[in-house]
Amino acid sequence: MRTSEETLAALRDCPHYSITELLQIMQVLRSENGCPWDKEQTHQSIRQDLLEECYEAVEAIDKDSVPMMREELGDVLLQVVFHCQIEAEQSHFTFDDICDELCRKLVIRHPHVFGTTEVSGSDEVLKNWDSIKKETKHQETASDTLEGVCKALPALMYAQKLGKRAGRAGMDWKNAEDAFQYIRKETDELEEAMQSGDSERISEELGDLLFSCVNTARHLHVDAESAMRDAAEKFLSRFKETERLVLADKKEMASLGLDTLDEYWAKAKENLAKPE
């Protein structure tokens, strides 16, 4: 593809860009006289970029930052357009094809809006959505629905979705208390595995323990992924305060024993718990 100077000038000096110009810019970047880096990329080479941009968009949402959301959602869209252009060059599909398929999916899965189906509220909407999704994806068994969970999800999120779908098939605990009992059971089994020294068994039992924690979280209506992230952020905050206290005493953390660090840790927790 050879891009005329007029086209380049129009794209460079556009007073207000839209999706049309974005698609054109990506086509130019991937063209014969485009950007060397962009031309070299494949789905696999930019796979991680898509993940990172999605996480950055989520961070923007968590921070409730409108300017950050605008920017990061744009970066997510860029990745979508990038992947579309790669496929368009192979005549597999275009951005318009993706939009067409998405719109058809939305219309089909909202029969209470675009059809004659009546619903009493959000719960029934979600029930219908799952039923339609199962039908359109030709999921005939409960195992099919579990197999349909995206395996690229973070492990805690993946586990929680599996548990939720298994629950719809009747394979679930009655309440959080019953699920919690399995945490105790799996803790005992992990302890036995540790005593055996068998690394494969230890890994298996630790996984079972984590899976039990996820199922308990689900029954407590807690998002396991968010809870783990919050715990990690809390650890980071306490670690930073602990280090600050140690440095204030003109000491180095690495030179202190665990008992001493525990004392600083307790003081850090106390400081952070104080109202501002």
pLDDT tens-digit profile of 109-166?
999 999 999 989 998 998 888 888 888 888 888 888 888 888 888 899 999 999 998 9
**Which one is predicted more confidently, 66 or 273?**
66
Please check whether residue 268 is in contact with residue 241, taking contact to mean a CB–CB distance below 8 angstroms.
Answer: yes
What is the fold, at CATH topology level, of the domain defined by 5-106?
A: Helix Hairpins (1.10.287)
What does the pLDDT read at residue 50? 95
Distance (Å, whole) CA 7 – CA 23:
13
Distance of CA 105 to the CA centre of its chain: 22
Amino acid at residue number 243: E
CA distances from 62 to 144, 265, 272 (A): 33, 27, 21
Cα separation, 110 vs 206, in Å, equals: 42
Share of the chain above pLDDT 70, in %: 99
CA neighbor of 154 nearest in space, from 225, 257, 93, 104: 225
Q: So where are the chain's domains?
A: 5-106, 227-273
CA-CA distance, 124 to 118, in Å (whole number)?
Answer: 9
In angstroms, the CA 193 to CA 128 distance is 44
| DSSP at 150 | -
The reply to whether the predicted model has a pTM over 0.75 is no
Long-range pairs for 49-52: beta carbons < 8 A, 24 or more residues apart: 49/79, 50/76, 50/79, 50/83
Dump pLDDT digits (tens) for 12-61.
999 999 999 999 999 999 999 899 999 999 999 999 999 999 999 999 99
Exposure string for 178-201, b = 16+ CB within 10 A, e = fewer: ebbebbeebeebbeebeeeeeeee
